[in-house]
A and B are shown apart, each in its own frame.
Chain A
Amino acid sequence: DAGVTQSPTHLIKTRGQQVTLRCSPISGHKSVSWYQQVLGQGPQFIFQYYEKEERGRGNFPDRFSARQFPNYSSELNVNALLLGDSALYLCASSPGGQGPQETQYFGPGTRLLVL
Chain B
Amino acid sequence: AQSVTQLGSHVSVSEGALVLLRCNYSSSVPPYLFWYVQYPNQGLQLLLKYTSAATLVKGINGFEAEFKKSETSFHLTKPSAHMSDAAEYFCAVSDNAGNMLTFGGGTRLMVKP
Interface residue ranges, A against B (CB under 8 Å) = 4, 33, 35, 41-45, 48, 55-56, 58, 90, 92, 94, 98-109
Contact = CB atoms under 8 A, between A and B. Distances in A.
B28 interface: no
A106 B102 contact: no
Given A48-B100, A100-B97, A41 B105 contact: yes
B97 A99 contact: yes
Interface size range of chain B in the complex: 20 to 34
Interface stretch (B13-21, B40-48, B68-76, B77-85): B40-48
Given A42-B106, A101-B32, A108 B43 contact: yes
Q: Is the interface of A mostly helix, strand, loop or mixed?
A: mixed
Contacts, number: 65
B96 interface: yes
A102 B97 CA distance: 10
A57 to B, nearest CB: 9
B47 to A, nearest CB: 11
Contacts of B113: none
Given A99-B98, A101-B94, A102-B94, 20 more contacts: A33-B99, A33-B100, A41-B106, A42-B90, A42-B103, A42-B104, A42-B105, A43-B44, A43-B101, A48-B99, A55-B97, A55-B99, A58-B100, A94-B98, A100-B96, A100-B98, A103-B34, A106-B44, A108-B41, A108-B42
B98 A102 contact: yes
Interface in B41-58: 41-46, 49, 51
B43 A109 contact: yes
Contacts of B97: 55-56, 99-100
A105 B106 contact: no
A44 B51 CA distance: 22
A103 B103 contact: no
Nearest to B102: A45
Contact of A106 (B43, B49, B106): B43
A100 B51 CA distance: 9
22 contacts: A33-B99, A33-B101, A42-B104, A43-B90, A44-B103, A45-B100, A45-B101, A48-B99, A56-B95, A56-B97, A56-B99, A56-B100, A94-B98, A100-B97, A100-B98, A101-B94, A102-B94, A102-B98, A103-B34, A105-B46, A108-B41, A108-B42
